[in-house]
Amino acid sequence: MEKEKVKDRIIRVASDLFYKQGFNSTGINQIIAEADIAIGSLYNHFSSKNELLKVYLIKEELKWFDGFEKHSSKLIKAKDKIFTLVDYRKELQNSSGFSGCHFIKINAELGDSNPVISEFVMKHKEKQKIMIKELITEYNKEDGSVNADAITENIFLLLEGAVVISTINKNADAFDQTKKIIKGLLP
């Protein structure tokens, strides 16, 4: 087995800590200790904890979109992809033990105190909306005639709400309800 590169180990450890205990509760010394590296190694790769946070979010964004692509790649119809998006978000919640969305958590923790990060989170969520709108536009070409803007907004809000509610309740019931509502929106 190939040995993990120091930079990759730093990113992995920091990512786990940021997600599990929060950015503000994670110190540089803890990252160094858990990554089992020297302080110089960290600063050889990252100029600050904020830079490491940005790398973490970029990694999570790529993982999120790649994961959905793999999840839906064998599907042909847009309607099936939309329902698979609900399943994908449900699977992400289940696999994290209902720990929530990486982006919502960071944004809730940092708020406006870090404009670069809050803008990144906003753009990430906008990319999700664009993806949903593309699926709705494709759905309209195949099966339906719905207001793409309104349905996109509704599906996005339903999914984000399901993530939050499933995090609070520690179960996936909100995703099942979301699917039922979307079935009513897409005749």
What pLDDT, in 10s, does the model give residues 95-121? Answer: 999 999 999 999 999 988 999 999 999
Cβ-based burial of 90 (10 A; exposed 0-12, middle 13-18, buried ≥19): buried
The mean per-residue pLDDT over the stretch 34-63 comes to 94
Q: How confident is the model at residue 1 (pLDDT cuts 50, 70, 90)?
A: low
The confidence score (pLDDT) of residue 143 equals 80
Domain(s) of CATH 1.10.10.60: residues in the chain: 1-46
Q: Which residues contact 133 (CB under 8 A, 6 or more apart)?
A: 148, 149, 152
Its CATH class, for the domain covering 56-185, is mainly alpha
Dist. CA 181–CA 178, nearest whole Å: 5
The pTM score is: 0.92
Domain(s) of CATH 1.10.357: residues in the chain: 56-185
The mean per-residue pLDDT over the stretch 33-54 comes to 93
The mean per-residue pLDDT over the stretch 52-72 comes to 97
Residue 88: name the closest of 102, 68, 69, 70 by CA. 68
Q: Which CATH architecture is the domain 1-46 placed in?
A: Orthogonal Bundle (1.10)
Q: Which two tokens stand for residue 91?
A: 């699977």
Say what percent of the chain tops pLDDT 90: 94
- Mean residue pLDDT of the chain comes to 95
Is pLDDT larger for residue 170 or for residue 39?
Answer: 170
Q: Which residues contact 65 (CB under 8 A, 6 or more apart)?
A: 127, 131
Q: How confident is the model at residue 142 (pLDDT cuts 50, 70, 90)?
A: very high
The confidence score (pLDDT) of residue 2 equals 63
